[in-house]
Chains A and B, each alone.
Chain A
Amino acid sequence: MNRAPQSSALPQSAALRSFAAQWQKRPPDSLSPLRDAAMRRFLELGLPTTHDETWRYTNLRALAAHSFVDAPRAAAAVEPHGSLPLLDASDRAACLTLINGYPSLPPSNEGIDGIEINTIRELSNLDPQRLQHYLSASDADQQRWVLLNTALFVDGLYLKITGKVAKPLLILHVATADGADAIAYPRIIIEAAPGSAATIIEQHVAQGAHTPLNNSSAHIALGRHAQLEHYRVYASGAGATHFDSLDIRQDHGSRCRQFTIVLGGGLVRTALEARLDKPGASLDSYSLLVGHEDRHVDCVNIVTHGAPDTGSHQTARAIAGGTSRVVFNSQVIVDAGAVHAQSQQSCRGLLLSPTAEIDTRPQLEIHADEVKCAHGATTGRLDPDMLFYMLSRGLDRTTAQSLLVYAFLADVLTGMSVAPARAAIESALIAQLPDSQTLRKFR
């Protein structure tokens, strides 16, 4: 098979050339036709630019000048929590660790009640059709990095939730590299069988002096009346770059609660695409986006109501300090025929410094009758009336300001049903605010 790109699609940037070089070195496998198609398409399209609708506020020009190599398969040693301990061993069903996307699974005799765990490699042998179903990505600009992931991921995690799992399952994504300019391609598939119920927390942590670019992609499919609470939490340092894409498909009456929590990372881009294709499916999505120093956070959510009586609630809270920039793009599409769909989008931004920037864009596209859709977006500074009220009661200015920031995020925090994870996330948030000593007493 000729795997060289055609001359018309010769990669223009160092990054694209390095991705093409990685692709040429991959040994063929059962997914090769699919991977080749994805890679060719990716090379044709190139890296997203600010001309692409969902990349308007995130410029990748600096990144394009780098040549990337594969991140290593293993780390010298793995810290059990990274920098942010979300769940103690007693609070979780299990912890699965992926190093740069490579799963290290517990021995098969240590199974978890209600969850079947496999690698994607195993799935490609057991049920290649099922795997291919998840790997087909569209051309849409928010899917650009998914195409690259499809072409280049080596292994990943496949979870099937078969029953009601009482404790949350933690998936720890460890990103680590020996040198600069490594890239990792984590891939995860989560299937929730009809009637199952579980909570899954994906936590992305960086370890060591060098952090690879993390191009991760996850798929979640909920069967009839399945219930899932899913978290993706980013708490890496300023050197970390994440491009994460999550797609969610929901069957009849299924209920998904999804939390995207960005507390760290230098450049974090998260995409969520959800399809509510069967009647009665509902999705609550919560985004907590924290920008500080010169960080850049870009979150795009696209929710499509494809069936009657579907519901979606989106709650996004963004705060930005320093010279950081936080972008929240949210689009709700109600297809023709999705009668009695209900959707709410609440996006609020809080600017903590005159040099920070927040861009929120809630959009609504309705092709059906008898729907109830609402959206609202506000961005501003701390309310001077609230601040004055607290000062007039004798509170320190820093305490009052931090309390107001914390209160601003409460709508997302109170939605979390995993108490220890919520407490850890609150602590991490508070630690980023001034006067954290006093604030801890308010919890």
Chain B
Amino acid sequence: MLKITGLSARVAGKDILKGVDLTVRAGEVHAIMGPNGSGKSTLAQVLAGREDYEVTAGSATFEGRDLLALAPEERARAGLFLGFQYPVEIPGVNNVYLLKAALNAKRKAAGEPEVDAYEFLALIRQKMKLMQMSDSFLTRGVNEGFSGGEKKRNEVLQMLVLEPKLAILDETDSGLDIDALKVVSAGVNSLRDPKRAVVLVTHYQRLLDYIVPDQVHVLSGGRILKSGDSSLAKELERRGYDWVQGAEVA
């Protein structure tokens, strides 16, 4: 589904990614872990199409298409979703209207008619229930005045409504208490499906107790230094990132 080869990227004149290789197949959940500043968020943003991040080398294909040639909105309509680490507040733009516009943009790209208003409301209420969100989210501006945890729930809500083929969740677990973490994890797990894939970008192993990944990668210094199964996350938790970075030096 996603094939990244030798991907290098620069942000504000600084090389952050230095040759990332990663292959994600349909049905898989991958976790990308790594210390702060290792390039995890940059990788997520580059895949979503952030324009001020400059790709200097390498390639990324999504279902065989050249992902890097697509505009961010085209990537979204093709089925890629980025859950933001810091979801932006957009006062004055209604949360639900944005979601409806997003869903309709996707449907339009697929040649489907716009969603019926009544059906949409039923759908969103069902997903909000799963995410344990109150009705006030319906009327508020996008992320406006939301707590950190509410913003993350809102990201997962958007993902559930848009049903992407590939979801990249950038530190969706950070800032969540244990109850919220369970809710968010249940939301992500509900989307697991042989036709979809999820990439979890996370700093801590904690999330992976609830969403068990098929593969774990350690990103450090802009490269993937080590890959393994879910036991790698537990080992990292025990031995710290220095262990992997030390191995690289040695």
Contact = CB atoms under 8 A, between A and B. Distances in A.
A394 B158 contact: no
Given A394-B77, A395-B73, A399-B101, A389 B106 contact: no
Interface in A374-397: 383-386, 388-397
Contacts of B105: 393-396
Contact of B48 (A392, A395, A397, A441): A392
B149 to A, nearest CB: 18
Nearest to A410: B92
B93 A394 contact: no
The 3 nearest A-B residue pairs measured at CB: A407-B92, A410-B92, A394-B76
B90 A397 contact: no
Interface residues of B, number: 33
A386 B92 contact: no
Contacts, number: 82
B39 interface: no
A389 B84 contact: yes
A342 to B, nearest CB: 23
A200 B64 CA distance: 62
B93 A407 contact: yes
Contacts of A409: 92
Interface in B87-111: 87-88, 90-94, 97-99, 101-102, 105-106, 109
B97 A392 contact: no
Contacts of A441: 97, 101
B57 interface: no
Given A386-B90, A403-B93, A408-B92, A391 B102 contact: no
A393 B49 contact: no
Main secondary structure on A side of the interface with B: helix
Given A389-B84, A442-B94, A395 B49 contact: no
B90 A404 contact: yes
A395 B92 contact: no
B48 A407 contact: no
Contacts of B142: 389
A393 B102 contact: yes
B78 to A, nearest CB: 9
Contact of B97 (A391, A397, A442): A442
A407 to B, nearest CB: 3
Interface string A253-291: 000000000000000000000000000000000000000
A385, A391, A392, A407 pick with most chain B CB within 10 angstroms: A392
A397 B73 contact: yes
A389 B98 CA distance: 10
Contacts of B102: 393-395
A397 B76 CA distance: 13
A406 interface: yes
16 contacts: A388-B51, A389-B142, A390-B98, A391-B71, A392-B49, A392-B75, A392-B76, A393-B101, A393-B105, A395-B102, A395-B105, A396-B73, A406-B93, A407-B91, A407-B141, A441-B97
Interface residues of A, number: 27
A414 to B, nearest CB: 8
B76 A389 contact: no
B82 interface: yes
B33 interface: no
A438 interface: yes
Interface string B127-168: 000000000000001100000000000000010001000000
B50 interface: yes
A406 B92 contact: yes
B93 A391 contact: no
Nearest to A391: B72
B52 interface: yes
Contacts of B49: 391-392
A383 B143 CA distance: 15
A31 to B, nearest CB: 48
Given A384-B52, A438-B101, A442-B97, A391 B90 contact: no
A403 B99 CA distance: 13
Contacts of B48: 388, 392
Contact of A395 (B84, B91, B94, B101): B101
Contacts of B93: 390, 403-404, 406-407, 442
A255 to B, nearest CB: 25
Nearest to B101: A395
Interface string B42-64: 00000011111000000000000
Contacts of A388: 48, 50-51, 72
Nearest to A396: B73
Contacts of B81: 392
A391 B88 contact: no
A139 to B, nearest CB: 42
Contacts of A399: 101
Contacts of B71: 391, 397
Given A396-B105, A438-B101, A442-B97, A391 B92 contact: no
Nearest to B74: A394
A391, A394, A407, A411 pick with most chain B CB within 10 angstroms: A394
Contact of B73 (A384, A386, A394): A394
A386 B92 CA distance: 12
A409 B93 CA distance: 11
A390 B90 contact: yes
B10 to A, nearest CB: 17
A395 B142 CA distance: 14
Given A389-B90, A409-B92, 8 more contacts: A383-B88, A389-B142, A391-B71, A395-B73, A397-B73, A411-B92, A442-B93, A442-B97
A203 B130 CA distance: 50
B109 to A, nearest CB: 7
Interface in A71-114: none
B97 A389 contact: no
A231 to B, nearest CB: 21
B73 to A, nearest CB: 5
Contacts of A410: 91-92
A246 to B, nearest CB: 27
Contacts of B90: 386, 389-390, 404, 407
